[in-house]
Amino acid sequence: MFLIVGLGNPGDKYEHTRHNAGFDTIDCLADQYGISIREKKHKALLGQGMIEGNKVILAKPQTFMNLSGEAVAEILNYYKMDPETELIVIFDDISLDAGNIRIRKKGSAGGHNGIKNIIAMTGTQNFMRIKVGVGMKPAGGDLVAHVMGRLPKDEGEYFDLAKKNTCEAIAMILRGEIDRAMNAYNKKVREKEEA
In this structure, the strands spanning 54-61 and 128-133 are unpaired
Tens digit of each residue's pLDDT, the chain (195 residues): 999 999 999 999 999 999 999 999 999 999 999 999 999 999 999 999 999 999 999 999 999 999 999 999 999 999 999 999 999 999 999 989 988 999 999 999 988 999 999 999 999 999 999 999 998 877 888 888 888 888 888 778 888 999 999 999 999 999 999 999 999 999 866 554 444
How many domains in the chain? Answer: 1
Residue 108 is part of which domain span?
A: 2-194
Do 130 and 169 contact (CB within 8 A), yes or no? yes
**Rounded to an integer, what distance in angstroms lies between the CA atom of residue 186 and that of residue 45?**
29
Which residues are marked as active site?
19
Whichever domain contains 114, its CATH number is: 3.40.50.1470
Residue ranges for the binding site for tRNA?
Answer: 14, 64, 66, 113
87 close to 123: Cβ distance less than 8 angstroms: no
With beta carbons less than 8 A apart as the criterion, state whether 67 and 74 touch.
no
pTM above 0.85, yes or no: yes
> Which amino acid is residue 58, in one-letter code?
L
